[in-house]
Amino acid sequence: MTDCSTLDSLQTRANDKTGLSATAILLIEIALAAGGFGIGTGEFVIMGLLPEVATTYGVSVPQAGHVISAYALGVVLGAPIIAALAAKLPRKTLLLMLMGIFALGNFASALAPGFLSFTALRFITGLPHGAYFGVAALVASSMAPPHRRVRAVGRVMLGLTIATLVGTPIATFLGQLMDWRAAFLMVSAIGALTVALIAIYLPKDRVVEGASMLRELSAFGRLQVWLSMAVAAVGFGGMFAIFSYIAKTVTDTAGLPASMVAVVLALFGIGMNVGNIVGSRMADRSLNGTIGGMLAFNIGLMSVFSLTAHNPVMLCICVFLTGCGFAACPAVQTRIMDVAAEAKTLAAATIHSAFNLANALGAWLGGLVIAAGYGYGATGYVGAVLSAFGLMIFLISVALERKVSGR
């Protein structure tokens, strides 16, 4: 247990670094996490409401699925563009603008008169996603002592992981009970609440000296930034290869009733939260060890998933542990901020573009394997291969880093 002297020491270090009390920092982190909760809920709720959206607009369910791709495209494009253009804005101002766009985008989505306008609005709503998480991570890490930075980033990302467990199921239930539009109104309200919390609790800040679009764009001239993004885009695609088809794996491969899908999804969400909390603590002790260790762990785990997916008990265990793979995400977020030097905002935002590419890559490759007749359980092998490539890229990154530093 942490004794009083340790708590006093942490309090003193927080005051020395930011002039804020531990309570003030906690309130700021809660405000930032609320935005993550809203973004996570808004991103995933559509997956459970596609049939209702398709019925409303008179399109097929696969056609309705294009709105998911539109949102993801918004994330991929929005993160680097916004981070570069907003280089000279104070971080508080930028966070308020980003969450304001998100809240308005979801409100407008609920009122969209046609499918094309709805799709366009989902694209617009996705634009602030990556930039928000990137700037929020920078703010959180800047308030924490060096040995607790990843935990601060993890607490902000906890909003996202809690959304998979609580926010998305509630919004989906609300959308099915009333109307799918109600789910987006709920997400818009969370966004508006976040704007209020950030306005109240996050102190005004000044633009970092020398900040400019060119300085932010210099991140793309750093090999380590590209390697970090490649680790995220490739190495974490396995989680999405499995998650994208988990419903069919539960019913068709493991032979469980459809009612168990929600239970298995809940296990995945619990795993993400456990991974986030434990992984953040691990990464504060060893950043590179956590990233490399989790990628290696995923190679074995996802292979076991494919070998045992027909067994309901093993399926549940593997899905929970797959969710725990989120443990490396706060570490990857922190590493790219470290290797970006003075171009932290662009790098911190763009890593979320890479995670969305991982989503697309994992789902696409998983679909190819299933279409080839290997079954839904084979998505684990896809994940293992992607994790292996991600680990290889990461090891190259660390080796080059050590060569340059002479260690």
pLDDT, one tens digit per residue, over 77-91 is 988 888 888 878 888
Note the pLDDT of residue 124. Answer: 94
Note the pLDDT of residue 393. Answer: 95
Total-model pTM: 0.82
For tokens 């905002």, the residue is 345
- Of residues 385 and 358, more confidence is placed in 385
Closest of 354, 356, 265, 349 to residue 69, by C-alpha: 356
Tokens of 115: 């499918």
pLDDT band at 407 (very low <50, low <70, confident <90, very high): low
Please give the single-letter amino acid code of residue 241. A
Other beta carbons within 10 angstroms of residue 105's beta carbon come to: 24
- Per-residue pLDDT, averaged over 181-194, amounts to 95
Please give the single-letter amino acid code of residue 312. P
Q: What is the C-alpha separation between 94 and 103, in angstroms, rounded? A: 14
Q: What is the C-alpha separation between 75 and 43, in angstroms, rounded? A: 10
Closest of 107, 159, 169 to residue 133, by C-alpha: 159
Do 344 and 201 share a domain, yes or no? no
Quick check: 141 pLDDT over 70? yes
Quick check: 159 pLDDT over 50? yes
Do 151 and 227 share a domain, yes or no? no
Other beta carbons within 10 angstroms of residue 96's beta carbon come to: 18
Do 314 and 347 share a domain, yes or no? yes
Predicted confidence (pLDDT) per residue in 206-261, tens digit = 766 666 677 777 778 889 999 999 999 999 888 888 887 887 888 889 998 888 88
Note the pLDDT of residue 211. Answer: 63
Do 15 and 84 share a domain, yes or no? yes
Do 93 and 205 touch, CB atoms closer than 8 A? Answer: no
Tokens of 81: 């563009």
Predicted confidence (pLDDT) per residue in 265-315, tens digit = 889 889 999 999 999 999 999 989 999 999 999 999 999 999 999 999 999
User: What is the enclosing helix (H) or strand (E) of 132?
Assistant: helix 115-142
Pick from 211, 239, 262: which residue ends a domain?
211
Pick from 184, 211, 238: which residue ends a domain?
211
Closest of 13, 341, 343, 1 to residue 147, by C-alpha: 13
Do 246 and 258 touch, CB atoms closer than 8 A? Answer: no
Note the pLDDT of residue 12. Answer: 43
Quick check: 406 pLDDT over 70? no
Do 157 and 241 share a domain, yes or no? no
pLDDT band at 390 (very low <50, low <70, confident <90, very high): very high
Q: E-assigned strands of 205-282?
A: none
Please give the single-letter amino acid code of residue 324. C
- Per-residue pLDDT, averaged over 147-169, amounts to 87
- Of residues 391 and 5, more confidence is placed in 391
CATH code of the domain covering residue 194 = 1.20.1250.20
Do 35 and 69 share a domain, yes or no? yes
Residue 152, domain extent: 1-211
pLDDT band at 73 (very low <50, low <70, confident <90, very high): confident
Note the pLDDT of residue 43. Answer: 84
pLDDT band at 33 (very low <50, low <70, confident <90, very high): very high
Do 278 and 302 share a domain, yes or no? yes
Other beta carbons within 10 angstroms of residue 12's beta carbon come to: 12
Do 22 and 11 touch, CB atoms closer than 8 A? Answer: yes
- Of residues 182 and 248, more confidence is placed in 182
Pick from 164, 188, 211: which residue ends a domain?
211
Do 205 and 224 share a domain, yes or no? no
- Per-residue pLDDT, averaged over 127-155, amounts to 88
DSSP character string of 158-215: HHHHHIIIIIHHHHHHHHHHT-HHHHHHHHHHHHHHHHHHHHHHSPP--PPTT--HHH
Cα 142 from chain centroid (whole Å): 20
- Of residues 166 and 210, more confidence is placed in 166
Structurally, how many domains does the chain consist of?
Answer: 2
Note the pLDDT of residue 116. Answer: 94
- Per-residue pLDDT, averaged over 2-27, amounts to 58
Do 28 and 8 share a domain, yes or no? yes
Do 195 and 230 share a domain, yes or no? no
Quick check: 14 pLDDT over 50? no
Do 345 and 252 share a domain, yes or no? yes
Do 203 and 230 share a domain, yes or no? no
Quick check: 9 pLDDT over 60? no
Q: What is the C-alpha separation between 186 and 167, in angstroms, rounded? A: 10
Across 7-21, 148-162, 244-258, least confident range: 7-21
